[in-house]
Amino acid sequence: MDIFSRLIQRKFQNIAADRYEEITRRYREFLLLPEEFVLPEVRSILIPIDRFSGEIPEELYETLSAYSGASVTLVYISEKRTLALIEQTLGKEEAEKLRSAKMEFARALVLKIAPRLGELGLRIERRQFIGSKSDDVIRLMENDNFDLLVVSRSYGSEVTRTSPVSPVVLKIVQHLESPVIIY
């Protein structure tokens, strides 16, 4: 409360003079108490990535450095429905080629991101599997008790002007109670 009192005093001291006490009283209920300033403890972070996710921005690395010592799980989920559709239309051999290409892309992407996260003092775990990008992320967050989800706004599909966040990310966020960082 002390910091906000000082901020209000600095902002309104020479403007509101005699109304200062009334301003502090009225805005007191909107101000956070010191105990409300405490950041939740984050020990485990889930970062789903795919070919739509793109590069992790430098600002996100800086943010994640605040959680030094936490474990980060990088997960690459290949969409099962896409592979099934490819198999139905082009055959099993083409579906297997696509699956292999996706897994190789996942390995390369994780190898690119993991060292940078490791430099921040984060412990890295890697997972990749075939499943549902939205349902499996929701399941992982709930069952494995991750403290924080960090996800690209374009995870699962490309974003557009009318939809700046992909439908997959919207679905995930709507089903989670845990904190989420969307970059």
Query: What pLDDT, in 10s, does the model give residues 6-20?
Result: 766 666 666 666 676
Closest C-alpha among 53, 144, 153 to residue 105: 53
Residue 34, pLDDT score: 61
Evaluate the CA torsion angle 172, 114, 76, 58 in order and state its sign.
Answer: positive
Residue 8, pLDDT score: 66
Distances (CA, A) of 48 to 36, 37, 52: 29, 28, 11
Query: What pLDDT, in 10s, does the model give residues 15-37?
Result: 666 676 776 677 776 666 666 66
Q: Decide: helix, strand or coil at residue 50.
A: coil
Per-residue pLDDT of the chain (183 residues; tens, 9 = 90+): 566 667 666 666 666 666 767 766 777 766 666 666 677 789 999 999 998 988 889 999 999 999 989 999 999 998 888 888 888 898 889 888 888 888 888 888 888 899 999 999 999 999 989 999 999 999 999 999 999 999 999 999 888 888 889 999 999 999 998 999 999
pTM value is 0.75
Tokens describing residue 29 = 């209920």
Query: How many of the other CB atoms lie within 10 Å of CB of 54?
Result: 14
Please state the domain extents for the chain. Answer: 1-35, 38-182
Domain 38-182: CATH class, spelled out: alpha beta
Query: How many of the other CB atoms lie within 10 Å of CB of 176?
Result: 15
